[in-house]
């Protein structure tokens, strides 16, 4: 099955700095890569996603890059703010039975210090 | 309007008991999921149903049995609860049907087994 590795497990930055979270996946059949943000005590919510036919996608301060050859993808957050503090999960998805089933990384706890 | 709802939000019970968690989505999605999030925040898929049909059943003890009475509901029944079952259980749904769609998570059920 798919295996997703995520690094780092904890990331501490100063407000205004950039943050980068990296993930690798093992199954070349994976073709959809969402990122979820989970605030303390809340549910995970999608913040950005990328499909295998795209190399980069940006949404305001958040960007995601995908290197299919190397099987890795990254989340970039610029100008970090304290409200960006949360656990971030990457996922690699494979179509199974008509649905995209994600395998999640173990999460990165991002702490933004004011 | 709540998109994905779960009941109960908190569940405290003793070892050996049987309990159920209910999930309902009003998004008209085809696929529903159950996830377990342990104390280290690892988010692991347990089951996935597409149009009431089981499409994925990860390695979970057979004490866990999902039930999908219709497309909008996916309940989780757990027999003979053990200490290691303590976790937060998230229900989720997605559009499925071979398209790239995000997962909408419920608020989670925190299960504590004493």
pLDDT digits 0-9 by tens, A68-114: 999 999 999 999 999 999 999 999 988 777 677 889 999 999 999 99
A99 vs A32: CA distance, rounded Å: 11
pLDDT at A113: 97
pLDDT at B99: 60
- Is B107–A95 a contact, with Cβ atoms under 8 angstroms apart? no
On the question of a cis peptide bond just before residue A83, with omega within 30 degrees of 0, the verdict is: no
pLDDT band at B101 (very low <50, low <70, confident <90, very high): confident
Q: Is A114 an 8 Å CB contact of chain B?
A: no
pLDDT at B102: 83
Q: Which residues contact A38 (CB under 8 A, 6 or more apart)?
A: A44, A45, A86, A87, A88, A89, A107, B41
Q: Which residues contact B3 (CB under 8 A, 6 or more apart)?
A: B25, B26, B27, B93, B104
Residue B42: closest CA among chain A residues belongs to which residue? Answer: A106
| Half-sphere exposure in the Cβ direction for A24 (13 Å, CA) | 6
Q: Which residues of B touch A46 (CB under 8 A)?
A: 102-103
Q: Which helix (H) or strand (E) holds B36?
A: strand B31-37
Better-scored residue on pLDDT, B96 or B28: B28
pLDDT digits 0-9 by tens, A2-47: 899 999 999 999 999 999 999 999 999 998 999 999 999 999 999 9
pLDDT at A109: 97
Q: Which residues contact B101 (CB under 8 A, 6 or more apart)?
A: A100, B29, B94, B95
From the list A38, A93, A96, the residue facing B55 with the nearest CB is: A96
pLDDT at B96: 65
Question: Considering only residues 60 to 99 of chain B, which have any Cβ-Cβ distance to chain A shorter than 8 Å?
Answer: 90, 94, 96-99
Residue in the block written with tokens 């419920």: B106
Query: Bridge partners of A76?
Result: A20, A63
How far is the alpha carbon of A95 from chain B, nearest alpha carbon, in Å? Answer: 7
- Is B105–A43 a contact, with Cβ atoms under 8 angstroms apart? yes
Ramachandran assignment for B16, one of left (phi > 0), alpha (psi -120 to 50 degrees), beta (any other): left
Q: Assess whether pLDDT exceeds 70 at residue B33.
A: yes
């Amino acid at each position: 099955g798919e295996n997703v590795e995520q690094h780092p497990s904890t990331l501490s930055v100063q407000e205004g700095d950039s943050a980068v979270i990296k993930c690798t996946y093992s199954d070349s059949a994976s073709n959809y890569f969402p990122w979820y943000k989970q605030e303390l005590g809340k549910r995970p919510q999608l913040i950005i996603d990328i499909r295998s036919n795209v190399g980069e996608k940006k949404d305001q301060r958040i960007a995601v890059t995908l290197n299919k050859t190397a099987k890795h993808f990254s989340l970039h957050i610029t100008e970090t703010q304290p409200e960006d503090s949360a656990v971030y999960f990457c996922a690699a998805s494979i179509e199974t039975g008509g649905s995209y089933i994600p395998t999640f990384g173990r999460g990165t706890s991002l702490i933004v210090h004011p | 309007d709540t998109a994905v709802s779960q009941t109960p939000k908190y569940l405290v019970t003793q070892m050996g008991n049987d309990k159920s968690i209910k999930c309902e989505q009003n998004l008209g999605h085809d696929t529903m999921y159950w996830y377990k999030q342990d104390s280290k925040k690892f988010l692991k898929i347990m089951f996935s149903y597409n149009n009431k049909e089981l499409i994925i059943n990860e390695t979970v003890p057979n004490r866990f049995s999902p039930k999908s009475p219709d497309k909008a509901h996916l309940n989780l029944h757990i027999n003979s609860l053990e200490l290691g079952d303590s976790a937060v259980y998230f229900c989720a749904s997605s559009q499925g049907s071979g398209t790239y769609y995000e997962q909408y998570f419920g608020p989670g059920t925190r299960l504590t087994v004493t």
